[in-house]
Amino acid sequence: MDLTFIDRISIKGDSFFHRVSPLAKIINTLGLIIIVVICNQPSRLAVLLSVVTLLLLLSRFPPNKLLHFFAYPVVFSLIFAVSSSSASAGYGIAIVLKAVVAAGSVLFLVATTPYTEIFSWMSLLLPAVVIDSMFLTYRSFFILVTKAANLFTAIKLRAGYNPLRILYNLKNTAKMVGMTLLHSIDMSERMYNIFLLRGYDGSILYSRPKLSLKKQDGVLLLILAMLFWMVIGW
């Protein structure tokens, strides 16, 4: 899963939905998840999936990337549906659609909202130590991924990877993972010392989230209201 791409598009994206306030997008995501829990009819879930897909495409999310991200919930939900031997075909289809719609709604939020704003809203509900840990983990993830990719490139350039030698590849991969782990420990210590030098006292200060809505927020909230009416009132 290319999390780097999601992080980049959430910050540099310039679609209409990128300008919608985070509050409206959070309400939309929570509302869609509630609808997914309530709705059990495959036909209505298919409509929900169409709407979520349209929202992502209007957010300028590349279609090929979208199919790639949707493949994850499809595979895992399909395994769960198949493992339920007493379930009907309609039940299995509903399970897969529920997973994809829920994943798509969260993807819409994180692909159109910078992670700093998401953490800012989460800080209203979760303890500071939890938010700080999540923030630092998120930040460190991309550094470690880049480090691991560079190590893997170095291994291949030095003939340390051969598709026909599985045990040889596993041995070198284990070394790469070990080096990445040591680098992560060293990086966490250095990062903590840097935070202490900058006055870290146990919590990172985030900008206070705005509780007001914008005019363009009405479009997203209207779509959500129509979906609720379709599931509950139709």
pLDDT profile of the chain (234 residues), mean per 10: 77 88 90 90 90 92 89 86 72 89 92 85 76 74 78 81 78 82 79 77 67 81 87 68
Exposure of 158 in the CB half-sphere (CA atoms within 13 A): 9
* pLDDT tens per residue across span 161-207: 777 778 878 888 888 888 888 877 787 778 778 777 877 766 666 66
CA–CA gap between residue 23 and residue 63 (Å, rounded): 26
Query: Is residue 14 within 8 Å of residue 207, measured between CB atoms?
Result: no
Q: How far is CA 78 from the centre of its chain?
A: 20
The pTM for the full model equals 0.74
At 148 the pLDDT is: 81
Instruction: Say if residues 224 and 108 touch (Cβ distance below 8 Å).
Output: no
Per-residue pLDDT of 128-140, as tens digits, reads 777 777 777 777 7
pLDDT at 184: 78
